[in-house]
Amino acid sequence: MVVAMSGENIVMGDEQERRKHKRYRVKNGALALIDNIPGTIVDISKSGLSINYTVFGKEPVENLRLDIFLSSDDFYLQDIPARLVASQDKSGSKSTFGSIQVKRYGLQFGEMTEEQQSNLRYFILHNTVAEG
């Protein structure tokens, strides 16, 4: 089940695509860190990304900051403002580990510095493999 947050028009799953920018699938190994917990980046655009994220009891807050990391390119982009706009349970069934769940989150980037925007463009240009 897909849940859109705060009336945002970004959707995930089989629903109609309404994003402003094209999303691109990211090379394997690209991570987004929220509160120092890594999530695997699924796809990314100039305005946001989606990640598969393991929730250990407490879900991220709606307004947050994240880092993007890819070791194969020595890439690290810190402190990106973002907003949680969609959440989808990917666990399939209850975890044997109690409160641990895997979710796919849709995150919309907030206002970034020029340097962050430039580094994000570099990341998209050099570390994506196809349209998402």
Distance between CA 105 and CA 84 in Å, rounded? 7
| Predicted pLDDT of residue 18 | 54
Which is the CATH superfamily of the domain at 2-131?
A: predicted glycosyltransferase like domains (2.40.10.220)
| Predicted pLDDT of residue 103 | 93
More confident residue, 56 or 23: 23
Nearest to 43 by CA among 74, 17, 4: 17
Distance between CA 84 and CA 4 in Å, rounded? 9
| Predicted pLDDT of residue 95 | 52
Q: How confident is the model at residue 10 (pLDDT cuts 50, 70, 90)?
A: very low
∠ CA(64), CA(60), CA(15), 5° rounding? Answer: 95
Six-digit token pair at 122?
């570099």
% pLDDT > 70, the chain = 79
| Predicted pLDDT of residue 108 | 96
Q: What is the pLDDT of residues 92-104, one digit of tens each?
A: 655 555 667 899 9
| Predicted pLDDT of residue 14 | 46
pLDDT at 15 over 50: no
DSSP string of 69-110, one letter each residue: EEGGGTEEEEEEEEEEEEEEE---S--TTSSEEEEEEEEEE-
Distance between CA 15 and CA 121 in Å, rounded? 27
| Predicted pLDDT of residue 20 | 73
| Predicted pLDDT of residue 50 | 96
State the sign of the Cα–Cα–Cα–Cα dihedral 101, 85, 78, 71: positive
The one-character DSSP state at 130 is E
| Predicted pLDDT of residue 94 | 55
